[in-house]
Structure 1
Amino acid sequence: MRRWMIIIGGALALLLVVIVGFNHLRSEGIKKYFASMKPPPTNVAVAEAKSEVLPNLLTGVGDLAAVHQVNVTTDVSGRVTEILFTAGSKVKAGDPLIQIFDAPDQSDLASYKAQTLAASLALDRAKALAAKSFGPQATVDQSQAAFDQAQAAVAKTEAIISQKRIKAPFDGDLGVRMVELGQYLSAGTQIVSLTDLSQLFLNFTATEKDRAVLNVGQTVRIVVDAYPGRTFEGKITTIEPQISADTRNVRIQATLANPDRILQPGMFATTTVELPPKPAVVTVPETAVDYTLYGDSVWLITETKDANGKASLKTDRTFVKTGPRIHGRVVITSGVKPGDRVVAVGQLKLQSGSAVAISADPPPPIPAQPPRN
C-alpha cells in the first residue's frame, strides 16, 4: 500500500507540474501573440500648418439708405387738376409731377402784370417831367413805389403759381402714386416717393475698441440676402465723432455706387471692412481643430523608428489656443509651429499614440462662405 501510495502521489505531482507548465506556456504564448499583433494604421487626411499673412477684416451688420430720398408733398392746399407722371417711372430734376388748380392765381398774375405796365409808364412820364423841371421829385418817388409794389405782386403770384405745379427736386425713381385726379390736397399731403438709386449710404456700427483702426477712405464690402454670392464695394465716408453712451458703439457711414440700381434702401447688409494687415500667423484648416469643453486641440503627426530603423507615423493630441477663423482656416496662437503636420480628417478614430497612414484623398475644400472673424 505504501508503494502504491508513493506511485500515485508521484503521478499526481507530475500531472500537476504538467498542468501548471502548460498554463504558463499558454499565457506566455497569448502575451507574445497580442504583443506582436498590432492594428493596421488608420487612414487620415493630413494638412500642414502654414505661416501666412491673413486679411485683417472687421465684420458687422448694417442697412442701406438712399443718398437722396424724399416723399414729395405739396406746399399749398388745392384740387388736383393734372397728374403728369407714371408711378414707378424715372424722372429728371424739374420734371412736373402734378398740377393744382391755379386759375384764380393766373388771373391775379395777369392783373398785376397790367398794373406793372401802367406803373412803368407813369414812372417814365414822371421822370421825363422832372428832368425838364415840369414836375416835382415827389411824383417820381410815388411812381417808383407804385412800380415796385406792382413788381412785388407779380413775383408773389408767380411763386404761388409755381407752388401749385409740383416738380421733381432731383433725378430719381418714383414710387407708388398716393393721389387721385380731382382730389383736394392739404398742405403737406404726400404725393409720391422719389429715390435716387445711383448712390447709397451704408450705415453700420463698430465697437469702441475698434474705433482706433477705422478711418475714412477704408474699403467696405457688403453682401445682401437678395443677391447671394455677389459682393458690393464702397468707401467709408463718415465716422460719428461721438461714442454712444448707451451701447459704447460708434456709427459709421460708407458710400456705395449702385450703377445697376439693384441695391435698394432698407436692405440688410453684412459688412466687412479691410483693416491694415497684421504680422504673419500660424494657421491650420478648420476641420483640423477639435472644440471641446476641456479646450481646443489638434492631432499632431510625428515620425518614429523602431529598433530595425523602420519609420512609422503616430499621432498625439495637442491642446492649442485658437484665434480668428477666415477663409476656412483657423489661427493657432500657441501649440503648433509652421510646418507641423496635423490630421485634417479622421480624428474620431484616433487615440494618443495611434499609428496612422496618410490617405491619398486630399483634405476637404474650403467651404464657400464670406470671411468671418
Structure 2
Amino acid sequence: MTDSQAQTALSALRIDRSAAPMRRRRKRRWLIPAALLLVVLGLIGVSLARRPPTVRVAEVREPLPGEQQTELSASGYVDSRRRSVIAPLIAGRLVEVAVEEGEPVRRDQVIARLDDRDARVVLERANAEVQAAGARLAASEAQALNADRTTERTRNLARQGAVPRAQLLDVETAGRATRESLNLARAQLAVARRAREAARLQLTHTVVRAPFDGTVSRKLADEGAVLAPAALSGTNLGGIVELVDLHALEIEAEVSEEQLTRIRTGQPALIFLDALPERAFPGQVATVRPAIDRSKATATVRVRFQAVPQGALPDMGAKVSFLRQPLPPEELNARAQPKRVPASAVVRDAQGSAVWVVKDGRLARQPVRVGERVGDEVSLVQGPGAGTQVVVAPEPRRLRDGRRVKVEAGGG
C-alpha cells in the first residue's frame, strides 16, 4: 500500500464534527414551537376548566286549577253578547253627546241629539197639511149633505111629474160626484195624518237613545260631526258611541277543527284572564259557531262565565281549559295546591332531597321536601318559591355552591 492510499483510508475513517452543530440547531428550532404549543394547550385547558358550565333550567310553578281534568286548552278574548255601535237612524249634524266613556247608561236614556230644526219645520208643515185636509173634508161633507137633500127633493118632484126625467138624472150624477169628492177629501186627510206621523217620527230620530242597559266603552264622535245613518265596519260613518253590556261577557276562543269533536255545548270549563292571573273562573261552553275559518282552520267557541267577574272588560286576553267534568269549588284556588318542578330537577344524596337553584348566574343547593308525582313533575311540600329557576337533570360532580353557570339558550 502506498502512502497516498493509506492517507485516503485514514481520511475515510475520520469523524466529521462540523455536522453536529447543524443537527443541534435543527433540534432547537423544533423545541421552541413545541414548547409554545404546550403552553397554549395548557392555557386552553385552564380556561376550559374555569369556564362556567352550561345548564338547562326550569321554573318552579304553581299548578293551574283543573290540570288533571283538562281535555284541551285554547286562547281567546273577552267579548259581550250585547255590544253595539250606536248610530242615528237619519243623517244630521251632532249638537250634543250626553254621555262619556266608562259611563253606565240605562235603556232609552238619551245618548245624543242631532240638529232638529229641519225636522221641526217638516212637522209644522205636516200639521198645516192636516188642518187643510180637515177643512177640505168638512167642506166636502157639507156639499155631500146638500147634494143628498137636492137629489131626494128632485126625486119627489119627478114622481109628481113636476120635473123632467133628464133633470133628475143630472141631479143624481152631481150627487155621485159630490160623494166621490167627499171620499177623496177623507183619503187626503188620511194621507196628511200619515205624513204628520212620519214627520213626528223623523223628529224623534234626532234624539238617539240607548237600546239596552250597558256601559259606554268608546266615544266615536263629538259635537259638530255630520253623521250618516249607519256605521260600516272599519269606517265610522255614523257611530256616536260603542255600548257594551258588561253583565253579558263571555269568551270567544279559537279551537282547531281537528279538536272540535272534543267540545260540546254545556261542557264545563275554566277561564283564566291575563289581567287577573291569580284567579280561575268557572264557565261552560255556550255555543260552537258552525263555521270554519279557512285561513286558520279554526272554529270559534263561545264560553260563558258562571258569574261575570268584577274587573273583566271586553277584549281582554283569556285562556280556556275545557274540562272532562266540573271542578269542585275548593280546587279553584291554585295557591292552595303545592308547587311543582320537573322530577329530573330533584337530586337525592346522603344529605337528602334538594334542587340546584340558579340565582344571579350562580348555583345554590336548596333542600326540598317532595310530595306526590304528577306526570313528569313532582309536588314540593317545602322548597323554593314559584318562578325560581332550578337546574334540570343536574350533574352534582360538576356543580357546587356558588359556582357561576351559564343558562342554556331557550332554557327556563
Could you tell me which residue of structure 2 aligns to residue 290 of structure 1? 344
Displacement of 1:150 in angstroms is: 0.6
**CA deviations over 1:284-342 (Å, ceiling 9, x no partner):** x9657439xxxxxx99xxxxxxxxxxxxxxxxxxxxxxxxxxx971179xxxxxxxxxx
Displacement of 1:87 in angstroms is: 3.6
Q: Is the 8 A contact 1:176 1:193 kept in 2?
A: yes
2:224 matches 1:145? no
* Pair 1:248–1:82, CA change in 2 (3 A): closer
* Pair 1:98–1:269, CA change in 2 (3 A): same
Distance in structure 1 (CA, Å) of the matches to 2:217 and 2:274: 22
Could you tell me which residue of structure 1 aligns to residue 241 of structure 2? 192
Distance in structure 2 (CA, Å) of the matches to 1:265 and 1:252: 16
Distance in structure 1 (CA, Å) of the matches to 2:304 and 2:343: 39
Q: Is the 8 A contact 2:79 2:315 kept in 1?
A: yes
Could you tell me which residue of structure 2 aligns to residue 123 of structure 1? 137
Q: State the AA in 2 paired with 1:250.
A: A
**CA deviations over 1:39-87 (Å, ceiling 9, x no partner):** xxxxxxxxxxxxxx94243212111112112222334343333332344
Displacement of 1:186 in angstroms is: 3.0
Distance in structure 1 (CA, Å) of the matches to 2:301 and 2:199: 46
Displacement of 1:266 in angstroms is: 0.7
Displacement of 1:257 in angstroms is: 5.5
* Pair 1:176–1:203, CA change in 2 (3 A): closer
Distance in structure 2 (CA, Å) of the matches to 1:102 and 1:328: 73
Distance in structure 1 (CA, Å) of the matches to 2:200 and 2:140: 28
Could you tell me which residue of structure 1 aligns to residue 88 of structure 2? 74
1:77-88 correspondence runs (5 A)? 77-88=91-102
Displacement of 1:124 in angstroms is: 5.4
2:280 matches 1:223? no
2:321 matches 1:272? yes
SS of alignment partner, residue 231 of structure 1: strand
Q: State the AA in 2 paired with 1:210.
A: Q
Could you tell me which residue of structure 1 aligns to residue 73 of structure 2? 59
Could you tell me which residue of structure 1 aligns to residue 375 of structure 2? 330
* Pair 1:349–1:264, CA change in 2 (3 A): same
Q: State which drifts further: 207-216 or 90-99.
A: 207-216
**Structure 2 segments unaligned to the other structure (5+ residues):** 1-66, 150-174, 229-236, 327-338, 348-371, 378-391, 397-412
Q: Of 97, 102, 112, which residue of structure 1 is paired with 2:126? A: 112
SS of alignment partner, residue 96 of structure 2: strand
Q: How many residues align?
A: 247
Q: Of 168, 175, 192, which residue of structure 1 is paired with 2:217? A: 175
Could you tell me which residue of structure 1 aligns to residue 283 of structure 2? 234
Displacement of 1:174 in angstroms is: 1.3
For normalisation by structure 2, the TM-score amounts to: 0.51
For normalisation by structure 1, the TM-score amounts to: 0.56
2:115 matches 1:101? yes
Distance in structure 2 (CA, Å) of the matches to 1:140 and 1:87: 57
Distance in structure 2 (CA, Å) of the matches to 1:180 and 1:208: 44
Could you tell me which residue of structure 1 aligns to residue 232 of structure 2? none
Q: State the AA in 2 paired with 1:185.
A: V
Identity in percent: 20
Q: Is the 8 A contact 1:219 1:274 kept in 2?
A: yes
Displacement of 1:121 in angstroms is: 5.0
Distance in structure 2 (CA, Å) of the matches to 1:244 and 1:81: 42
Distance in structure 1 (CA, Å) of the matches to 2:264 and 2:205: 44
2:262 matches 1:213? yes
* Pair 1:258–1:92, CA change in 2 (3 A): farther
* Structure with max Cα Rg: 2
Higher strand share: 1
Displacement of 1:127 in angstroms is: 5.0
**CA deviations over 1:123-168 (Å, ceiling 9, x no partner):** 3564576478255321122112211221222122123212221211
Higher helix share: 2
**CA deviations over 1:327-364 (Å, ceiling 9, x no partner):** 971179xxxxxxxxxxxxx98689xxxxxxxxxxxxxx
**CA deviations over 1:65-116 (Å, ceiling 9, x no partner):** 1211222233434333333234421111211122222123213212312322
Q: Is the 8 A contact 1:200 1:258 kept in 2?
A: no
Q: State the AA in 1 paired with 2:344.
A: D
